[in-house]
Amino acid sequence: HLAQNFDLYQPIKSAIAAGLPVYGSCAGMILLADRIVDGIEGQKSFGGLDITVRRNAFGRQVDSFESDIEFADGSHELIRAVFIRAPWVEKVGDAVQVLASIDSHPVAVRSHTALATSFHPELTGDHRIHRYFIEHVARPALEKVK
């Protein structure tokens, strides 16, 4: 709503479509998804990530949880993931790579210019997800523009 109210919706959507590297966590995953299941009436996304995402897939606020998960960053260390009314990915497009899953539901995905997690790495103090975004998504995408 805020993006529309401040006339930012279309500029953001256009920038993402033009290849702006983006990372979205939790609701950010929903905002980057091309398709949303169980969205509120009239809900829009910026799109740019060829996924179908289900809102509040793990349940309501009281169902929030933490879990140690494997993340395909080349490390063998588990990542602590904090899920708060989190979505999950129901379907991925051919150009989307699944980086982490819980019970066969993708919870971290990436494309050439986008990374999305259904959990909140910023709440853990572990910077590997953000580092992964910079090193494997943002930097390569921006170097191609030069």
Q: Which residues are catalytic?
A: 26, 120, 122
Contacts of 112 by beta carbon, 8 Å cutoff, 6+ apart: 95, 137, 141
CA 15 to the chain's CA centroid: 17
φ, ψ dihedrals at 131, nearest 5°: -65, -40
Q: Are 110 and 53 within 8 A, CB to CB?
A: no
